[in-house]
Structure 1
Amino acid sequence: MTYVNVGTLGAVPGKRDELVEILTRRSADLEQTGCLLYEVGVDVDHPDTVFVAELWTSAEAHQSSLQLESVQRAIQEARPLLSGEMGGFRFDVVGSPLRD
C-alpha cells in the first residue's frame, strides 16, 4: 500500500533557501529505498516555511530511509536551519482516479 507523508518545516528567518537546497539535492538512495515522489515547495505568503510532499511504496520504506547515511547527513546539516516549527500529516493511500 502506498504511503504519503506531507509536512511543513519552519526555517530560521532568512535560511529557507539554504534548507531548500539541502532538501532538493539529488538522492539515488531515496529512490532505491522506495521513494516514489519527493517534492519540495515554498509559498511567498509563508517566507520561512518549506513544504514537503513524499510518496513511498510503504510506511516501512519511509522509516528505513531515515536510517540511510546520506539522509542522516542531510538531517544534521539541516538541523541548524530549522526553527522547530513543524506540521503535517501521514496516510495510507486507498485509491486514485488516475490508476486501477
Structure 2
Amino acid sequence: MTVTHGFHATMTALPGKGDELVAFLLAAPSLPSADCVVFLVGRSAADPDTVHVTEGWTSEAAHAAFFATDEAAALVARLQPLLADEPQYADVVPVGGKAAF
C-alpha cells in the first residue's frame, strides 16, 4: 500500500503520565486502520513524558475520513486528559524502514 500522507506528532503527557499515554496509544483498537499503514509510537529517552507518534496514511482524505468518525472523536476525547498541552505536528511522509519489536 502506498503512503501519500503522514505526520510526526510530539505529545507531552501530564507529569508522570507518559506510561499511561504510551499504553493508551498502543492499545487504540482502531489504529492502524486499513488506510493507516504506519503507526509508530516512541518516547524521549531524556523525558519519559514526551511521546512521539509517526503515522502514514494512504491519503489525506482517508486520514480526514477516519478522524471524522464517532470512534475517532471518542479516542481523542479519552486522549486529551493525558496531555499537558496540544501536540506538535511535523509534515512527514513515511517511505520505508524496519521494525522488530
TM-score, normalised via structure 2 length: 0.78
**Structure 1 segments (4+ residues) deviating >4 Å:** none
**1:45 corresponds to which residue?**
46
**2:5 corresponds to which residue?**
3
- Is the Cα–Cα contact under 8 Å of residues 7 and 51 in structure 1 kept in the other structure? yes
Percent sequence identity over matched residues? 31
- Is the Cα–Cα contact under 8 Å of residues 22 and 74 in structure 1 kept in the other structure? no
**Can you give the 5+ residue segments of structure 1 that lack an aligned partner in the other structure?**
none
Secondary structure of residue in 1 paired with 2:27: coil
**Is 1:80 matched up with 2:89?**
no
Partner letter of residue 25 of structure 2?
Answer: L
**2:21 corresponds to which residue?**
19
Higher strand fraction: Structure 1 or Structure 2?
A: 1
- How many angstroms apart in 2 are the aligned matches of 1:36 and 1:48? 25
In the alignment of these two chains, the number of paired residues is 95
Partner letter of residue 14 of structure 2?
Answer: V
RMSD over equivalenced CA pairs, Å: 2.3
User: Which of the pair has more CA radius of gyration?
Assistant: 1
- Shift of the alpha carbon at 1:16? 1.0
TM-score, normalised via structure 1 length: 0.79
- How many angstroms apart in 1 are the aligned matches of 2:86 and 2:50? 9
**Can you give the 5+ residue segments of structure 2 that lack an aligned partner in the other structure?**
none
- How many angstroms apart in 2 are the aligned matches of 1:97 and 1:83? 31
- Shift of the alpha carbon at 1:60? 1.1
